[in-house]
Amino acid sequence: MSQPGDDELHIASFVIQHRTDAAEALAAAIAAAPELELAIPGQTRSVVLCESADRYAVMDRIEQLRAVPGVLNVLLVYHHAEPRDALEAEVEARPETNLAGVHP
């Protein structure tokens, strides 16, 4: 049986504040979760992307990352949910316009 939201894709990004010695453990935790991607690694701040079919999984990943030794904080910066079929639909090309917004 289908649950509400099963056809949605949730896209989120996190900024993780961490100690310099936590980078290896943080990278391992991210690699272990297929929904996560280390987009921008940093000395004390990193950006992580999350794609999930479930909003609760987004929150679970935040808690999972907070539990990594040396992680000081995980900040949800962006969260967007959209029907999966809308994201997979082809986008029609728009006619080109010049700088004045007039079609050639």
Residue 5 pLDDT > 60 = no
Q: Please state, in angstroms and rounded to a whole number, the distance separating the CA atoms of residues 69 and 66.
A: 8
- Those residues whose C-beta lies under 8 Å from the C-beta of residue 69, and which sit 6 or more positions away, are 22, 25
Among residues 58, 69, 59, 56, which one has the least CA distance to residue 29?
Answer: 69
For the entire predicted model, the pTM comes to: 0.74
User: Per-residue pLDDT tens for 49-91?
Assistant: 999 988 899 999 999 999 999 999 999 999 988 887 666 667 6
pLDDT attached to residue 101: 65
